[in-house]
Chains A and B, each alone.
Chain A
Amino acid sequence: MSHLAKDMTPSVTWKDITPGCNIFEGGTSVTVETGDWRTMKPVIDWDKCKQCLLCAPVCPDMSIPVGADGKRGDFDYFFCKGCGICANACPFGAITMVKDEK
């Protein structure tokens, strides 16, 4: 019997799920794409961005990665739900919310 989250597919019956619904790894939610909830999408204008990083801690979805060089990267659209908090927190107007068309 597997104890890994990736093996817990809908075809697994109750007899084979982990006892007490325990999960023996951390952070398994990273396979869940919450980006498809989005209607508006943040877009960054790198010319306006001053790397002040005020947008990084306000993201509820950990979608603003800050690299080892202390600079923010592009949005992680796999998780970003398009709430727009970052666009409002940006003091330089470098982030704009646009309609997310697929």
Chain B
Amino acid sequence: MAYNLKENVMKEDRLAGGHRMCAGCGSPIAVRTVLRALNPEDHAVVCSATSCLEVSTFMYPYTAWKDSFIHNAFENAGATISGVETAYKAMKKRGKLDETWKFIAFGGDGGTYDIGFQSLSGAMERGHDMVYVCYDNEAYMNTGIQRSSSTPHFADTTTTPAGSVVPGKLQQKKNLTKIMVAHGVPYVAQTTFIGNFKDITEKAHKAIYTPGAAFLNVMAPCPRGWRYPSEKLMEVTKAAVETCVWPLYEVIEGKYILSYKPKEKKPVEEYLKMQGRFAHMFKPGNEWMIEQVQKEVDRNWEELLKLCEL
């Protein structure tokens, strides 16, 4: 079915207002978009790793989730949702349930790239019929912007403070999407918010309705941690895609498909200069950091093009 923005936004949101995420946060946008990709008649069980999202949408007794929601701990969103999915399958087999239920786990990058990694890897390997959505805001924002393995190279965080001693985070960002591809699951995709939300909505729909385990990595900017004015969210995601810092692609049954190729690949400065966490890279004498990041982005982009056979 062709994507239609009007039809998409006319659907009822399955995340309610009144949640306590910061103004301009990217993660509720990711969540409501993914949940809108569900067919309205289908039920869903949503699970969340501990994250900004969990603590601000699920403050007793106020839940922003209209679907069944389960939270267990930081490290086991993957295991929790696999358990629920297995129970559903068993009940369905015994004829105790008629409706269709879908299983979606949400985790921040801390709960996905680092702390919940073993549980996610296990769930993917066992091949439960579920989707794990990582809303990637590139640090532990909930506890005060500590670096995670998803934090990009040279980013200033409270545990990698850029100054005269260290130039921000010393390591590169881990490529989790590729690690998930290596699990051999039927559907893996990387996306963010672009234009009319066609890319993210279609990928979310495919991820939810592909039988078996699926993984979706969504870049969800954090105005507080990335230090950009909250109204610039769509500009930041656009720059990330146009500079190929965050390429949009999907991997169906191991086959890489590039979703969007910028007409003209922009230099990384365009993306870096919008954000305060990279401000130190523009100081005189620090040009090598930008060169280094450009080199890494180019390398990853070339690798991806090769994988997509372009």
A residues touching B (Cβ–Cβ < 8 Å)?
5, 8, 17-18, 21, 23, 25-34, 37-38, 53-54, 56-63, 66-68, 70, 76, 78-79, 81-85, 87-89, 97
Residues of chain B lying within 8 A (CB to CB) of residue A89: 234
The 3 A-B pairs at the shortest CB distance, nearest first, are namely A84-B231, A83-B24, A79-B17
B273 at interface by CB-CB < 8 Å = no
Of B64-72, B113-121, B261-269, the one touching chain A: B64-72
Closest chain B CB from A25 CB (angstroms): 8
Interface string of B233-259 (1 = CB under 8 A from A): 111000000000000000000000000
SS class of chain B's interface: helix, strand, loop or mixed? Answer: mixed
Cα distance A83–B7 in the bound complex, in angstroms: 25
Closest chain B CB from A8 CB (angstroms): 4
Asked if B63 contacts A28 (CB within 8 A), the reply is yes
Asked if A88 contacts B234 (CB within 8 A), the reply is yes
SS class of chain A's interface: helix, strand, loop or mixed? Answer: loop
B142 at interface by CB-CB < 8 Å = no
B86 at interface by CB-CB < 8 Å = no
Residue among B23, B29, B33, B223 having the largest count of chain A Cβ atoms under 10 Å: B23
B residues touching A (Cβ–Cβ < 8 Å)?
5-10, 13, 15-29, 32-33, 57, 59-69, 193, 195-197, 223, 229-235
Asked if A57 contacts B9 (CB within 8 A), the reply is yes
- Known: A8-B60, A21-B60. Is A32-B18 also a contact (CB below 8 A)? yes
Asked if A66 contacts B17 (CB within 8 A), the reply is no
- Known: A28-B63, A53-B9. Is A61-B234 also a contact (CB below 8 A)? no
Looking across the interface, which residue of chain B has its beta carbon closest to that of A61?
A: B17
Q: Beyond the given A30-B17, A62-B15, A76-B17, please list 13 additional residue pairs across the A-B interface where CB-CB is below 8 A.
A: A5-B62, A8-B61, A29-B16, A34-B20, A54-B196, A56-B9, A57-B197, A60-B23, A61-B19, A67-B10, A70-B6, A87-B231, A88-B232
- Known: A8-B60, A57-B33, A66-B10. Is A29-B17 also a contact (CB below 8 A)? yes
